[in-house]
Amino acid sequence: MILVRHGQSHFNVHFAKTRIDPGIVDPRLTEEGERQARAAGESLANCGVRRIVASPYWRTLHTAEIIAEALGLPVSIDPRVRERYSFSCDVGSHRAELARRWPRFSFGDLPERWWPEDEESETALAERCRGFRDSHLAENAWDGLLVVSHWGFIRGLTGEAVGNGVALRFDPVGGAAAPAF
């Protein structure tokens, strides 16, 4: 399994400068974020990716779109790989709006309003990460899987904090994580 953190978003730029939540809901990628996504797509070309799963946030969907074009693969949406709900950027966009923007993506049974009402605890995040890992282990569905996700989910799953556009190879059996390229 390979995990990629979305490209740089407008929230990331402002928060990095001030460490104050700038109030940007479901932020878009910056030009740098688009560049990071293109670089990730190029670097993943020979990594054996056969399936792409993305979080339903705009920044991950746009990142997944760029990578999917480079790899010639479809994208399906899995809300289990979303960010830990803690900041304004973790308020999502409604399914109908996302489906209009990305009509070729598979949104499955994603509800119209899919993000949580309240801040998610670290314990709840850990349970969600464990559930995602365990379901892919049980189905033996992790080999060839690329997950386009977020800092909090990747940290919760692997223990590693990664920058925007960074990819990790993750072994869900042993729990080891290493740079993908």
Nearest residue to 166 via CA among 30, 33, 50: 33
DSSP state of 164: T
Nearest residue to 41 via CA among 11, 68, 16, 14: 68
Selected catalytic residue, list 6, 34, 65, 150: 6
- In this structure, what token pair is assigned to residue 56? 């339903």
Selected catalytic residue, list 34, 65, 83, 120: 83
6 is catalytic: yes
Cβ contact 56:111 at 8 Å: no
Nearest residue to 164 via CA among 83, 109, 85, 56: 83
**How long, in residues, is the chain?**
181
By annotation, the residues acting in catalysis are: 6, 83
